[in-house]
């Protein structure tokens, strides 16, 4: 029984795997089914979204930071 639960957990974790490259605002739009890239920029202005950084003039997001942001939202929802 425990091995079955582990197998299910592994499949679930794999289905929610994030890319290993840095994410673009367009990636976040696709991942979270957002209305537009402007939503991501609004999050940044309001400091409510995942932590991002600039590479030259391009905005990028570390998948680890995106995962941490999602987890913080989930923890806040559980309270």
| Paired strand residues for 60 | 53
Q: Label residues 4-38 b or e (16+ Cβ within 10 Å = b).
A: eeeeeeeeeeeeeeeeeebbbbebbbeeeebeeee
pLDDT for position 77: 81
Give me the pLDDT at residue 8, please: 38
- Tell me which residue has tokens 């991002």: 52
At 12, the pLDDT band (50, 70, 90 cuts) reads very low
Give pLDDT tens digits for 56-79. 999 999 999 999 999 999 998 876
């Amino acid at each position: 029984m425990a091995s079955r639960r582990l197998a299910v957990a592994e499949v679930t974790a794999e289905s929610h795997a994030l890319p290993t490259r840095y994410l673009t605002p367009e990636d976040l739009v696709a991942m979270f089914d957002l209305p537009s890239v402007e939503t991501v920029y609004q999050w940044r202005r309001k400091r409510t979204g995942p932590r991002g950084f600039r590479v030259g003039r391009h905005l990028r997001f570390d998948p680890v930071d995106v995962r941490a942001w999602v987890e913080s939202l989930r923890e806040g929802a559980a309270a």
